[in-house]
Structure 1
Amino acid sequence: MVDQLEEPGSGLRRDLSGRQVGMIALGGAIGTGLFLGSGLAISTAGPAVIIAYAVAALVALALAYALAEMMVVHPEAGGFGAVAHRYLGGLAGFVQRWIYWAAQVVNIGSEVVAAGIYFRFWYPQVPLWMPVVVFAVVMLLVNAAAVRYFGEFEYWFAMIKVVTIVVFVLLGLTYIFVGLPGREATGVEALTAHGGFLPNGLGAVWMALTVVTFSYLGTEAVSVTASESRNPRRDVPRAARSMVLRLALFYILGMLVIVTILPWTQVSGGDDVAQSPFVRLFALAGIPAAAGIMNFVVLTAALSAMNTNLYVTARMTYSLAQDGYAPRWFTGLSRNGTPRRALLLSTCGLVLAVFVSVFAPNTAFPLLLGLALFGALLTWLIVFASQLAFRRSRGEQGLPPSPVRLPGAPVTTVLAMLFTAAVLLTTPFTEQFSTAWKAGAPFLVLLVIAYYLVRRRASR
């Protein structure tokens, strides 16, 4: 029996080029965490944070290969959620897509509020709600346009982040080994000069992995582009591999530069642009208005992540409606093939997330962020479980293996699952993500109940 590449049959248009697919995936994974939040991981693990980023990169690479292995055979709307529905059953497909939708909507809300705060870096007299509303409307219009315009917009937004990281790494390595004008080379002494390479022990490296793994979340978004890629069999595996390898290179080299030039005890974990290690290095290099330039970069990073997440949530809603787990009304497409009705639901979630982040930043919003992390890690677990079921099913049916395969599977799949589960179980013991289980577990229970209610109603 010859296995054919299955078409999504969804009405979505295949207008995304290979370069757009690759950059959308990379842009969705690189958020403000690298530019501002990396200090949290460094302050926990010290220079050994490099190990944490390398380990998490291996798991993210396994996830990318697992997704590519499935998506070249099933390039469907909904990506990994549709595949989970196919191989693990309705409950898994329902839970995975809705909890991922909720996680990304929270991220969208936090990113647009962050973008408004970054805008006020230049215009502090402007009330926060004004740039938030403007950015939200612009990103919604971009997503409502034909997918090729969305892809081009995201390509250039993501390119700004990539160029900034490359310049940062090149400047940093030059400063370390050659020196900058008026400044001698630093060498690598700082890696062991402040308490050693492992100043807080291996336990601290593991605790830092919760923050580090959060940096790689977004890797899974590449699978959602498969239903609108011109050549998913070629573009999705290529984008998945290159994305994770570039992320690993950017993160590992970026962290190496930071902890080699700046004493790890002086790296801030705050969210102020002026405190960013990137700003400090650019200022040392004599780049004028380093803080202003970096503020522009983190602003585009926030908008880029928001843009990609809106795209993903709209396709998730569309996929759920196709399977009967959301109102059929959401399967409607515009003339240009965009699921604008599904985008409307994400807009409602965006408004809610913005209100919560503005009016209850110290109470409700940490719970929402915890839900986002819980949902993303649970999504990874279900992706790995889907890949195991995918392989078993093809073997039982006598079908040929996928053109792309995760090396070492199923052993690598199981190891990646154990790592992800261990990170998820560690979150209650970290200050930043202690709310993950408080919000995630009750929401998961509600989704399971909702699934059986929806299925019971459908059977009637």
Structure 2
Amino acid sequence: MSADTNKQAADTTDVPHPLGPVGHGGDGHLKAGLKNRHLSMIAIGGVIGAGLFVGSGAGIASTGPGILLSYTLAGVLVVLVMRMLGEMAAADPQSGSFSAYADRALGRWAGFTIGWLYWFFWVVVLAVEATAGAKILNTWVPGVPQWGWALIVMGVLTATNLFSVASYGEFEFWFAGIKVVAIAAFLVIGTLAAFGLMPGTHAVGTSNLTGQGGFLPHGVGAVFTGMLTVVFAFMGSEIVTLAAGESEDPEKAVSKATNSVIWRIGIFYLGSILLVVTLLPWNSAEVKASPYVAVLDHVGIPHAGQVMDVIVLTAVLSCLNSGMYTASRMAFSLGQRGDAPKAFATVTSRGVPRVAILSSVVFGFVAVFFNYTSPKTVFAFLLNSSGAIALFVWLVICATQLRMRKIIEREMPERHTVRMWLYPYLTWFAIGMIGFVVVYMFTDHDGRQQMYLSLVAAAIVLGASAVVGRRRRAAVAAES
């Protein structure tokens, strides 16, 4: 054995790595309750979040038409990371996905750390999305206070997730379906308007792309600043690889999802943003406030603001639904591997990890509470300390895939159906891209704060990993 192989064996022999975590409800395993149509829509809708409909305005305002380059660079990175993750998930579907693979390929410390950081990211997202949804609902029914709406929304979706994984899948199927129909309709309307085929419009050409200061009005550096915002909009693409573990045909689902990520990003993100900056001046106040509403108003669609509120609310509910699911499945996987309380790994007769779901939701409720009582202190810390976790997750996926490729080829070559392109060169290229974004974050004021606080969160979890590992080794030594 080589030194690397010996190290790997030492890191992974103390606890077995469960394969095939899906079974019948009540046998200690999750239940395969997601149908192929659920997985397909989760994969398609997973990249369409409220950040696209609303948050993209800030990126356009700070970067100009060059935001298209920001989306392209971030999109290339996501495609590469998803391909790596798809290779591992198709060979070995796990409820813990990249955390379980990191556990096996890099060591217990890596699986523990990235698993808990990812869980932390999503429970903070629960608070953000619950508050965003509550604000919209409060404008419709002001008689119910915002905190009341947040409570109602969290309660309904918690009940849905507790009932069965099929309930989660069905809700997400329709949430994602509405988002896909909305963005598809926007693409059709925007394209017709760009060519002057809508009543009251005329062909605009490239005047908005090259005028108003040019394609890069703030210089090349703004492209990378814009990329900092864009990168985090793509977080959630990986959810389908966690959900695949509870599907009827995980290998097929993962393969289909990873193969389609290119056109999903290309059409939904690049296509729609291209229409926005083509139809309207990038520096208009309307585009900064809500780019999609601005375009719909421009082409004369009545009640565009109200229509977009419905779509954004759907995106928020979709993110909440997926956040609960994702956080609970990561907690379940950590419990299975002994990196979280054993109760997290228990399931109901329906195959639902109830304790893992409730624990995640409780933290989400606490975060919602702080969002109302201490928005500029406690909640700001929670939000900023989870800001760079997407980059940490992607970096770990890349490092894991470098080793997991050899493990898959050695132990399960017949399941090696999805392969990373140009391995290991594109893997190292992705690592380099992530490293560049990390370094660049230190040059940006907001990015710097997020990176520092995220590193603090990572250090805390890494320290907890060391303590748990020490206790585990002491327990093994005592038994022997």
Q: Under a length normalisation based on structure 2, what TM-score does the superposition of the two structures give?
A: 0.90
Aligned to 1:429: 443
C-alpha displacement of 1:146 = 1.3
> Structure 1 residue 297 and structure 2 residue 311: aligned?
yes
Comparing 424-433 and 193-202, the one that deviates more: 424-433
User: Is contact 1:370–1:434 with CA below 8 Å preserved after alignment?
Assistant: no
- Partner SS state of residue 194, structure 1: coil
C-alpha displacement of 1:165 = 0.9
User: Is contact 1:6–1:74 with CA below 8 Å preserved after alignment?
Assistant: yes
Aligned-partner Cα distance in 2 for 1:167–1:352: 38
Structure 2 stretches of 5 or more lacking a match?
1-17, 23-27, 476-480
Aligned to 2:15: none
Choose which of 7, 14, 21 in structure 2 pairs with 1:8: 21
Aligned-partner Cα distance in 2 for 1:435–1:159: 36
Aligned-partner Cα distance in 1 for 2:68–2:410: 42
In the alignment, residue 320 of structure 1 is paired with which amino acid? L
User: Is contact 1:29–1:305 with CA below 8 Å preserved after alignment?
Assistant: no
Choose which of 46, 71, 81 in structure 1 pairs with 2:99: 81
In the alignment, residue 71 of structure 1 is paired with which amino acid? A
Aligned-partner Cα distance in 2 for 1:374–1:173: 35
Aligned to 1:150: 168
In the alignment, residue 117 of structure 1 is paired with which amino acid? K
Comparing 343-352 and 448-457, the one that deviates more: 448-457
Aligned-pair RMSD on alpha carbons? 1.9
Choose which of 198, 201, 205 in structure 2 pairs with 1:183: 201
Aligned-partner Cα distance in 1 for 2:93–2:358: 24
Aligned-partner Cα distance in 2 for 1:151–1:219: 16
| Correspondences of 1:354-393 after superposition (within 5 Å) | 354-393=368-407
Aligned-partner Cα distance in 1 for 2:73–2:412: 35
User: Is contact 2:53–2:291 with CA below 8 Å preserved after alignment?
Assistant: yes
> Structure 1 residue 349 and structure 2 residue 367: aligned?
no
Aligned-partner Cα distance in 1 for 2:76–2:402: 18
Aligned-partner Cα distance in 1 for 2:349–2:412: 41
Aligned-partner Cα distance in 2 for 1:144–1:401: 32
> Structure 1 residue 406 and structure 2 residue 420: aligned?
yes
Aligned to 2:331: 317
Aligned to 1:447: 461
Q: 1:57 to 1:267 in 2, by over 3 A?
A: farther
Choose which of 339, 342, 347 in structure 2 pairs with 1:333: 347
> Structure 1 residue 308 and structure 2 residue 308: aligned?
no
In the alignment, residue 340 of structure 2 is paired with which amino acid? A
C-alpha displacement of 1:395 = 4.9
Aligned to 1:96: 114
Aligned to 1:62: 80
> Structure 1 residue 456 and structure 2 residue 470: aligned?
yes
> Structure 1 residue 258 and structure 2 residue 276: aligned?
yes
In the alignment, residue 165 of structure 2 is paired with which amino acid? V
Equivalent pairs, count: 452
> Structure 1 residue 25 and structure 2 residue 43: aligned?
yes
User: Is contact 1:72–1:404 with CA below 8 Å preserved after alignment?
Assistant: yes
User: Is contact 2:200–2:299 with CA below 8 Å preserved after alignment?
Assistant: no
Q: 1:408 to 1:401 in 2, by over 3 A?
A: farther
| Correspondences of 1:102-251 after superposition (within 5 Å) | 102-251=120-269
Q: 1:86 to 1:230 in 2, by over 3 A?
A: same
User: Is contact 2:113–2:462 with CA below 8 Å preserved after alignment?
Assistant: yes
Structure 1 stretches of 5 or more lacking a match?
none
Aligned to 1:283: 297
User: Is contact 1:22–1:243 with CA below 8 Å preserved after alignment?
Assistant: no
User: Is contact 2:370–2:378 with CA below 8 Å preserved after alignment?
Assistant: yes
User: Is contact 2:133–2:317 with CA below 8 Å preserved after alignment?
Assistant: yes
C-alpha displacement of 1:400 = 5.8
Aligned-partner Cα distance in 2 for 1:82–1:415: 23
- Partner SS state of residue 31, structure 2: coil
Q: 1:328 to 1:82 in 2, by over 3 A?
A: same
User: Is contact 1:24–1:154 with CA below 8 Å preserved after alignment?
Assistant: yes
> Structure 1 residue 438 and structure 2 residue 452: aligned?
yes
Aligned-partner Cα distance in 1 for 2:442–2:382: 15
User: Is contact 1:53–1:248 with CA below 8 Å preserved after alignment?
Assistant: no
Aligned-partner Cα distance in 2 for 1:357–1:109: 7
Aligned-partner Cα distance in 2 for 1:125–1:207: 41
Aligned-partner Cα distance in 2 for 1:140–1:304: 13
Q: 1:26 to 1:267 in 2, by over 3 A?
A: farther
- Partner SS state of residue 288, structure 1: coil
Percent identical pairs in the alignment equals 35
User: Is contact 1:16–1:228 with CA below 8 Å preserved after alignment?
Assistant: yes
Q: 1:121 to 1:427 in 2, by over 3 A?
A: farther
User: Is contact 1:61–1:245 with CA below 8 Å preserved after alignment?
Assistant: no
User: Is contact 2:345–2:353 with CA below 8 Å preserved after alignment?
Assistant: yes
Q: 1:430 to 1:159 in 2, by over 3 A?
A: farther
User: Is contact 2:50–2:316 with CA below 8 Å preserved after alignment?
Assistant: yes
Aligned-partner Cα distance in 2 for 1:172–1:84: 43
Q: Under a length normalisation based on structure 1, what TM-score does the superposition of the two structures give?
A: 0.94
Aligned-partner Cα distance in 2 for 1:82–1:307: 23
